[in-house]
A and B are shown apart, each in its own frame.
Chain A
Amino acid sequence: MKRLFYSSLFFSIIYLQACDPASDRPLPILGERIFENGDTIYHTVPDFEFTDQIGQTVTNEYFSGKAYIVDFFFISCPTICPVVKKQMLRIYEHFSEEDRILYLSHTIDPKRDTVGALKIYADNLGIDHTKWKFVTGKKDSIYEIADDYFSIAIENPDAPGGFDHSGRLILVDENRHVRSFCNGTDPDDVDRFMKDVDKLLKEF
């Protein structure tokens, strides 16, 4: 009888997990959408051009056909960035065998975070320079693209504080759509985010 009870319980759990609509549902495309002639036009990450840690130009083309994870940081940041970078590194290591995921870290201190400084920083993290791009550029361009990403990833634009130093990580799909984000200072939220990455990879 006891055995029957436990096996029923086991199959009920499996059934419930298999039927959980939230786990089957694809990730939403985030951001504003326009309805035009019966078509839905989703927000896409705008064109960008930055310079990476090995001095090469990086544009959207580099990420074509891949998903990528974005963050904003600066090397001398004493508080949030090191915590976020640790989490980003955890994601990077978790998906180390996965070549459909790339990483893009924008410095918001281009004056001090030069190409050479970014190279040393990336080397110290021990990452593959082709998979994880640390980019610099004009400060205005960096803030413009940050505004674009975070206009989507911010829950409440009127909230005090601001996003530039929030430690958010953004997941972009192969079609330049933002699909998920998380608080990069919160390991639990990063765990949830990694499940979203898995979910996105299943769409490929």
Chain B
Amino acid sequence: MFKEIMRIHDEAMGKMGELHRVKKGLEKLKVEMVGEEEIEKEFSLAIEKMDAADEGMFEWMAAFKDPRSLSDKSQVIRALEAELDKVRKVAEDIDRSIQIGDSLIVNINK
């Protein structure tokens, strides 16, 4: 389970560059959308989601403690399951925020 947690983490971390590129694209387009309040709001929300997703991953890592050294085996499994849930959520947030940002850029460029 520990390996699976780290695999999800590594895969999600590999998307951070993409997240920042999409965010940069949104910020650039947002500047061009001055006056278009609805679109501006949508862009701001997407950027916020990206920042939150990015921060979520780093927060998770900073708080992560490898539970495998605990003496109680059932405690280890419970802790690993909890970490697996957390890292899945963090990875999903990253994926979703990139998707939202991407689709906003695609739609605006149509």
Q: Which residues of A are in contact with B by a Cβ distance under 8 Å? A: 74, 76-80, 108-109, 111-112, 139-140, 143, 146-147, 150, 160-166
Show 11 A/B contacts (Cβ-Cβ < 8 Å), sorted by A: A76-B61, A76-B62, A78-B66, A79-B6, A109-B62, A111-B58, A112-B58, A140-B20, A164-B13, A164-B14, A165-B10
The minimal Cβ–Cβ distance linking B25 to chain A, given in whole angstroms, is 12
Q: What class of interface size applies to chain B in its complex with A?
A: 20 to 34
Given A80-B10, A111-B58, A140-B20, output 18 extra A-B contacts at Cβ < 8 Å. Answer: A76-B58, A76-B61, A76-B62, A78-B6, A78-B9, A79-B9, A109-B61, A112-B58, A140-B24, A147-B17, A160-B14, A161-B14, A162-B13, A162-B16, A164-B17, A165-B10, A165-B14, A165-B16
Residues of B within 8 A of A78 (CB): 6, 9, 61, 64, 66
Interface centre among A74, A108, A146, A162 (most CB of B within 10 A): A162
Residues of B within 8 A of A112 (CB): 58, 62
The minimal Cβ–Cβ distance linking B4 to chain A, given in whole angstroms, is 12
The minimal Cβ–Cβ distance linking A24 to chain B, given in whole angstroms, is 36
B interface, by DSSP: helix, strand, loop or mixed? helix
Instruction: Kindly identify which residue among A74, A79, A111, A147 contacts B10, using a CB–CB cutoff of 8 Å.
Output: A79
Establish whether residues B20 and A143, one from each chain, have CB atoms under 8 Å apart when the complex forms.
yes
A interface, by DSSP: helix, strand, loop or mixed? loop
Q: How far is the CA of A43 from the CA of B9 in the complex (A)?
A: 33
Instruction: Kindly identify which residue among B13, B20, B54, B58 contacts A165, using a CB–CB cutoff of 8 Å.
Output: B13
Q: Which residue of A lies closest to B60 (CB)?
A: A76
Encode contact with A along B71-100: 1 for CB under 8 Å, 0 otherwise.
000000000000000000000000000000
The minimal Cβ–Cβ distance linking B3 to chain A, given in whole angstroms, is 10
The minimal Cβ–Cβ distance linking A165 to chain B, given in whole angstroms, is 4
